[in-house]
Amino acid sequence: MGVTPDEVGRLILPSAEYLCSAIRGHHVAAHRVTRIAAGLGRLYQRGSSARAPRCCCGRGELVLAIDTWVAEHLPVPHPDARLHTETVGAVIDRLARTQVYAYRLLMTVDNVADPQVHAAWYRLAELVDGYTDLNTSLSQRSLRLPALGDGA
């Protein structure tokens, strides 16, 4: 497949805002990646602890589905593009796990000012920033990804 020259530089992946909304089960847009992210959110919400279920049934397939979509739709990186350490599927998986954990913690602690709540939301904000930077770099072709299937 591939991307036309007019599409290079525009964000191909959904924004972090749409992605996080989909993970929560809201506004699951027509974008394939947001639908898959919603599936990751459902997997982690079903787990007893959002931090624990690293081997959720179906998780690897969802991560691979994201990575496959990315491989088919993102522009070819510049020849001198630096290598990212993870696939997009792995990044979105971690973002989904962290977001579900942060929401669960917020809803179950007695005091929302608890340092554990603050730490969870701070970590989620860091991951959102990282995803946004990743999305921008991929769209600008300044970053290349590990081989398909290396994210699970």
The whole-number pLDDT of residue 57 equals 67
Q: Which residues in the chain show pLDDT less than 70?
A: 1-10, 48-57, 149-152
The whole-number pLDDT of residue 6 equals 46
Q: What is the pTM of this model?
A: 0.86
DSSP assignment letter at 9: T
Contacts of 9 (CB under 8 A, 6+ apart): 139, 140
The whole-number pLDDT of residue 12 equals 87
Per-residue tokens: 82: 């630096």
Q: Domain locations in the chain? A: 5-144
* φ, ψ dihedrals at 122, nearest 5°: -65, -45
The whole-number pLDDT of residue 149 equals 55
**Helix, strand, or coil here: 79?**
coil
The whole-number pLDDT of residue 5 equals 44
In DSSP terms, 143 is beta-bridged to 82
The whole-number pLDDT of residue 52 equals 47
